[in-house]
Structure 1
């Protein structure tokens, strides 16, 4: 299984998720928003069009980490990303 993780190395939730995914032997494609402007731009476009971000946008949050599964499903829930 391969999961794309969109987050930041500055975010404790992202670091926790990366460690959990590694522990489960998941192949990770990490998009670090703190170090890549192209990844940040792509994420902002993704975030603006998804209903899962509506509450986060209203609260002024960032919404990371975000998990993009192999089938294209996007979720903010680590357990769902791991199929739990």
Structure 2
């Protein structure tokens, strides 16, 4: 199942979660602010994937972030919502 990394204090994450639920997209929500284990999991992804290069250069966090079943990383929900809506 696709992993959704975010936090409940991030407006973009909350909006993405609501929109994806409404579109019927299945995901495993991982709140990076509730445990150091979740944070470490996200930071490992962020620190090892080139998809985050521009995000880090801009000084951003990179959430909402999605790790798809095929290993692809998607930052932001727009592309996933477009895909879900066909």
**Common fold: TM-score over 0.5:** yes
Report the equivalent of 1:40.
39
Report the equivalent of 1:54.
53
Distance in structure 1 (CA, Å) of the matches to 2:79 and 2:72: 10
- For residue 61 of structure 1, give the secondary structure of its aligned residue in structure 2: coil
5+ residue gaps, structure 1, are none
Q: Which runs of 4+ in 1 moved over 3 A?
A: none
What count of residue pairs does the alignment treat as equivalent? 83
5+ residue gaps, structure 2, are none
TM-score normalised per structure 1: 0.87
Distance in structure 1 (CA, Å) of the matches to 2:2 and 2:39: 18
- What is the CA-CA distance between 1:52 and the residue it aligns to? 1.4
Aligned CA-pair RMSD:
1.4
TM-score normalised per structure 2: 0.85
